[in-house]
């Protein structure tokens, strides 16, 4: 009889342990996280760890309005669009893939950001930055992440974890500004405007299919803004006005990408693939800045005065009097205030709702105001 009693105790203990392990695994993948693929508009520090990269946001005054006010790898003074959307719906902010502190548990808790300044849909884009992650490279890194988390959770749990996650793909502007529109790249003479956009769509389709195969089901591709109106493009024009060809290319990209997402969503099982287009509102902000509370939409807040273009923000740069009134932070990138406007437009357009109940508020997003 003592043996039977021991057997019953062992069975009960085993069932309890199995139950506890099941609860632990469920807790790990019960939280919705996000995986971000992008360029400098979404980079949160990967390029800081690419020692040879010329695309850097590692010096003051980048990050001056974020957290402790020190550079953090974001190519703006504050938050990215992905930061703001994620915060609004309770998604945790994922760490940069190359962050040395990143662990498996952090990935399960927050996701990963693979975005890299200078990166593009095409591998050859941004070559003169020397080091950057193209979208293909970012997807390769994500594949490694899926294998690592799969070893930890097991097949069934890992499938649910990634299928519940939110995916953001936000690239394309570098493929024009730092590739096709530059004579040093072969694309500038191998393609015309239409065939180059088609080439981008063929490549993007293959990339999105790979992401779906790796588990991505809830995915949004961000569209391009009026890239012909960024300060760099204006200062390189003879008139100081927006470069209309670049803007038309952005519109062509957006139209083609939107249709691509519709087609993929209709064909891929359980896919919710959306296209986030904020071109019109950004264009209106640039043309009518005072309507939106800005007073400058054609030059960077951080600059070297009359020395233009200043390709990056430096400690010797001069800052504008009120950073919240400038649409652009530097020659390329929107300010925190502009990013907030863009994010709110996308939130309103798609009716994003909270995904993680009782999610803690993000660590202090905004540093003291410019006057403090």
Note the pLDDT of residue 358.
62
Residue 88 burial (CB count, 10 A): 16
pLDDT tens for the chain, residues 1 to 372: 444 444 444 444 333 333 333 334 444 457 999 999 999 999 999 999 999 999 999 999 999 999 999 999 999 999 999 999 999 999 999 999 999 999 999 999 999 999 999 999 999 999 999 999 999 999 999 999 999 999 999 999 999 999 999 999 999 999 999 999 999 999 999 999 999 999 999 999 999 999 999 999 999 999 999 999 999 999 999 899 999 999 999 999 999 999 999 999 999 999 999 999 999 999 999 999 999 999 999 999 999 988 888 889 999 999 999 999 999 999 999 999 999 999 999 999 988 878 886 666 565 455 544 444
The kind and range of the H/E element at 167 are strand 166-170
Give strand pairing partners of 222. Answer: 276
pLDDT number for residue 116: 98
Give the active site residue among 277, 297, 324, 333: 333
Encoded tokens for 275: 């296209």
Question: What distance in Å separates the CA atoms of residue 275 and residue 295, rounded to the nearest whole number?
Answer: 30
Can you tell me whether residue 133 is helix, strand or coil?
coil
Element (H, E) at 320: none
Question: CA 372 to CA 64: how far, in whole Å?
Answer: 12
Cα gap 98→100, rounded to integer Å: 6
Angstrom distances, CA of residue 142 to CA of 29, 70, 111, 210, 303: 17, 28, 10, 11, 36
Beta strands in 75-124 (DSSP E): 95-96, 111-113
Active site (annotated) includes residue 333: yes
| Catalytic (active site) residue 284 | no
**Per the residue annotation, which of 39, 65, 277, 330 is the catalytic one?**
330
Q: Are 330 and 310 in contact (CB under 8 A)?
A: yes
Q: Which two tokens stand for residue 329?
A: 């932070």
Choosing from 39, 40, 65, 175, which is the catalytic residue?
40
Dihedrals φ, ψ of 334, to 5°? -65, 160
- 10: buried, middle or exposed (CB in 10 Å: 19+, 13-18, 0-12)? exposed
């Amino acid at each position: 009889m003592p043996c039977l009693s021991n057997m019953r105790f062992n069975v009960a203990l085993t069932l309890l342990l199995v139950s506890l392990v099941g609860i632990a695994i469920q807790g790990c993948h019960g939280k919705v996280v996000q995986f971000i693929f992008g360029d400098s508009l979404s980079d949160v520090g990967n390029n800081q760890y690419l020692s040879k990269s010329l695309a850097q946001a590692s010096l003051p005054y980048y990050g001056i309005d974020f957290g402790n006010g020190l550079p953090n790898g974001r190519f703006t003074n504050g938050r990215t669009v992905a930061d703001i959307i994620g915060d609004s719906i309770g998604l945790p902010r994922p760490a940069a893939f190359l962050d040395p502190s990143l662990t498996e548990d952090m990935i399960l808790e927050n996701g990963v950001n693979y975005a890299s300044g200078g990166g593009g849909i095409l591998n050859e884009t941004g070559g003169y930055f020397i080091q950057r992650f193209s979208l293909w490279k970012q997807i390769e890194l994500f594949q490694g992440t899926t294998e690592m988390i799969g070893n930890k959770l097991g097949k069934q749990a890992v499938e649910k974890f990634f299928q519940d996650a939110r995916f953001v793909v936000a690239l394309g502007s570098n493929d024009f500004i730092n590739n096709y529109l530059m004579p040093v790249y072969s694309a500038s003479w191998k393609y015309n405007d239409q065939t180059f956009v088609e080439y981008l769509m063929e490549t993007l389709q293959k990339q999105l299919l790979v992401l779906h195969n790796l588990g991505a089901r809830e995915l949004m591709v961000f569209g391009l803004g009026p890239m012909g109106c960024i300060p760099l493009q204006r200062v390189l024009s003879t008139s100081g006005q927006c470069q209309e060809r670049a803007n038309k290319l952005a519109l062509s990209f957006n139209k083609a990408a939107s249709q691509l997402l519709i087609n993929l969503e209709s064909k891929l099982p359980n896919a919710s693939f959306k296209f986030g287009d904020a071109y019109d509102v950004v264009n209106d902000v640039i043309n009518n800045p005072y309507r939106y509370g800005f007073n400058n939409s054609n030059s960077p807040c951080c600059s070297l005065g009359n020395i233009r273009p200043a390709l990056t923000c430096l400690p010797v740069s001069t800052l504008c009097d009120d950073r919240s009134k400038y649409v652009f932070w530097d020659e390329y990138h929107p300010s925190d205030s502009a990013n907030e406007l863009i994010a709110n437009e996308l939130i309103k357009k798609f009716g994003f709702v909270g995904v993680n109940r009782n999610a803690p508020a993000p660590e202090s997003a905004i540093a003291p105001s410019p006057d403090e």
